[in-house]
């Protein structure tokens, strides 16, 4: 069914999200889980000689699911930070990202994060942007949704004023389902790097890091990157 690889070795359960384009999402036409993270994870498994079986779970349950050993690996554009490092081990960073404000095209009132006071801002439950809003923008009204696409749909139908989320996700959504109607505005608010997560002390961390480095050195990482983000 395309969800598992067969490299002849152990099979590990990989927890992922299915609502974070273009990193992990379900392709409408094929009905299959796909995206940059999914392809990178499969390539890592092949390189390291193990098999992966993906489980699509809610983003807010990912860290705890991995920290308790329910899943062997987690990959979902997960931002590496100190709070999460208390619960799980992270791989080396594999993608540089950060947060942005997004509004409907033509919105002249909101041009940067400074304009969000008193506005209703959508985000996702359990994300770094929900935390950013709570800490940095106490004057904004926050609407946190389990799926970030619900936030974008609320923006498109004028139920909320803005969305605060990861820049590559905003840009890809805008180009695809968003039909170009959603724009990222202002400066990138944070620098964040994504990493895969493992139960504390897991031997998989080292194996994954070694395989990731090989894929960076041999051009496979660049190929997968170019496919999803262009050159």
Contacts with ligand GLN, residue ranges (CB under 6 A): 17, 20, 59, 76-79, 124, 127-128, 148, 166
Whether residue 127 contacts residue 117, with contact meaning beta carbons closer than 8 Å, is answered with: no
Q: Which is nearer to ligand GLN, 50 or 173 (CB)?
A: 173
Using an 8 Å Cβ cutoff, are 57 and 16 in contact?
Answer: yes
Q: Which residues pair with 96 in a beta bridge?
A: 193
Query: How far from the centroid of its chain's Cα atoms is residue 59's Cα?
Result: 9
Q: How far is the CB of 129 from ligand GLN (least distance, A)?
A: 7
CA dihedral (197, 39, 187, 138) in degrees, to 10, reads: -40
Widest distance between CA atoms in the chain: 57
Task: Give the C-alpha separation, 150 to 89, whole Å.
Answer: 30
Looking at the Cβ atoms of 34 and 47, the one nearer to ligand GLN is 34
Question: What is the smallest separation between the CB atom of 136 and ligand GLN, expressed in angstroms?
Answer: 15
CB of 166 to ligand GLN, least distance (A): 5
CA distance 118 to 115: 8
- Give the nearest distance from C-beta 54 to ligand GLN in angstroms: 14
* Closer to ligand GLN by Cβ: residue 50 or 194: 194
159 Cβ contact list (under 8 Å, min separation 6): 120
**Do residues 163 and 152 make contact, with C-beta atoms less than 8 angstroms apart?**
yes
Supply the minimum distance, in Å, between the C-beta of residue 132 and ligand GLN.
10
Residue number, 42 or 124, with CB nearest to ligand GLN: 124
Provide the token pair at 159: 């139920």
Question: Cβ of residue 81: shortest distance to ligand GLN, in angstroms?
Answer: 8
Q: Token pair for residue 47?
A: 């390189």
Task: Give the residue with the Cβ less far from ligand GLN, 128 or 207.
Answer: 128
* Residue number with CB closer to ligand GLN (76 or 215): 76
């Amino acid at each position: 069914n395309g969800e598992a690889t067969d490299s002849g070795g152990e099979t590990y359960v990989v927890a992922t999200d299915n609502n974070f384009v273009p990193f992990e999402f379900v392709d409408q036409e094929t009905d299959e889980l796909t995206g940059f993270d999914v392809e990178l994870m499969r390539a890592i498994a092949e390189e390291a000689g193990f098999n992966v079986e993906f489980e699509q779970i809610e983003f807010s349950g990912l860290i705890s699911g991995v920290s308790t050993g329910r899943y062997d690996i987690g990959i979902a554009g997960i931002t590496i930070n100190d709070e999460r490092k208390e619960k799980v081990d992270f791989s080396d960073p594999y993608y540089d990202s950060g947060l942005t404000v997004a509004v409907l095209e033509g919105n002249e009132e909101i041009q940067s994060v400074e304009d969000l006071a008193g506005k209703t801002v959508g985000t996702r439950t359990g994300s770094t942007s929900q935390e950013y809003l709570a800490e940095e923008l106490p004057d904004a009204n926050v609407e946190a949704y389990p799926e970030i696409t619900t936030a974008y749909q609320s923006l498109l139908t004028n139920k909320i004023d803005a969305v605060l989320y990861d820049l590559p996700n905003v840009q890809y959504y805008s180009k695809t389902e968003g039909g170009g109607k959603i724009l990222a505005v202002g400066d990138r608010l944070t620098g964040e790097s994504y990493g895969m997560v493992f139960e504390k002390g897991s031997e998989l961390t080292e194996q994954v890091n070694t395989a990731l480095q090989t894929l960076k050195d041999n051009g496979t990482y660049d190929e997968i990157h170019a496919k999803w983000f262009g050159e």
